[in-house]
Amino acid sequence: MSMRFENAKEVYEQWGIDIEEAFTKVRRVSISVHCWQGDDLKGTEAVQNELSGGIEVTGNYPGRARDGNELRADLEKALSLIPGKHRVNLHAMYAETNGEFVERDQLKPEHFRKWVDWAKKLGIGLDFNPTVFGHPMAADGLTLAHPKDEIRKFWINHCKASRRIAAYFAEELGTASLVNLWVPDGFKDTPSDRLTPRKRLKESLDEIYAEEFDPKYVIDAVESKLFGIGSEAYVVGSHEFYMNYANQSGKLCLLDTGHFHPTEMVSNKLSAMLLFHSRVALHVSRPVRWDSDHVVTFDDELREITTELVRNNALERVNIGLDFFDASINRVAAWVIGTRNMKKALLYAALIPHNYLKELQDRGDFTSRLALQEQIKTFPFGDIWDEYCKRMGVATENEWLDVVQQYEKDVQFKREDEKVGS
């Protein structure tokens, strides 16, 4: 242990903080790392469609993963630079069918065998998402809430297939798979009927979830959104819709940090959600003016989210996943930055004297509360974080970028001159 760590440890210990206890607490938390940062949401389907549903990836940084093997290699490199044992989150569009076209409502566990074999090798779990966008059946912006029975049925069957695939993940990997359902349904301009599409969406969800799975295999979550590109006026699956549906049906309500009004903070919602839900799920992203899915940074809202989770002893009640995609920077670096920041914020929150701050609030000493909250911001946290990384066997903050840049030179940049599979 370095002298810098020992000195930093003394600063925290003056406030009754047990560094070793904080390390243990944070070590237990696994983050679900989203695969789609590595290939700009292109997917591995035999027939690729244009993105839709208000999703847009910008940038053309070289080295994008072009197939499942490259994507897994990039993910593996990223995971090697992130402290802790984590999970990987897949979309249905990452099926591998040996070049054969398989429609999404016909997907089977065998189409994800390579992902399962890889996850077994790493000793990690897999989560899953139906891909209800980027498809001709979603061209007009409606899917599970569509007025046409055949379109609704197609997406219902796709979601059913996705839950069976998740159950297969759990059986093979020995850890439950979270299946998160998000659909882009909505209208660009003011609707003449808001109720009926929501009624259709509820009926579709009821049909999807009619097939029951043991929660030790499948954990179901539903994700809301305030608006999207092409659905600015109305989104069928609003926060109020899904919060009530989750409460009624026993599903997890998933809060995406980019899916609310810019003045709404997910951190402020967590304590209320945890009072009424046994579990909550998160997609941590960083919206810039809109749901733009920027790489997660160590900002105020991220620290406030983790502070809420730690001080309310809720780490074991929340499934934390990430959701961002940036094609303007090295994609492996994006994973590393975003996921390390998520873990970093958890450790930061575990090093706050929460009990003392609560005591100050209860006795009305708001001056001391604010003073201490500000003082904590200049504690020598960086030295504690570096020590945590060393103990977890990964590069420190000053070291990991060199590793990524070497990988970029040796592997990613060479893809620009190679054919896939060559």
Which residues are the active-site residues?
A: 182, 223, 225, 256, 259, 283, 291, 293, 323
Residue listed under structure tokens 């590109």:
229
End-to-end CA distance of the chain: 46
Report the Cα 339 to chain-centroid distance in Å: 10
Judge contact between 43 and 94, C-beta under 8 A. yes
Q: Strands, DSSP E only, in 173-226?
A: 177-181, 186-187, 218-223
Facing residues of 321 across strands?
32, 283
For residue 203, the Cα-to-chain-centroid distance in whole angstroms is: 27
Which residue carries 């070049």 as its tokens? 99
CA distances from 378 to 269, 382, 383 (A): 27, 10, 12
Contacts of 131 (CB under 8 A, 6+ apart): 43, 91, 92, 93, 104, 158
Amino acid at 297: T
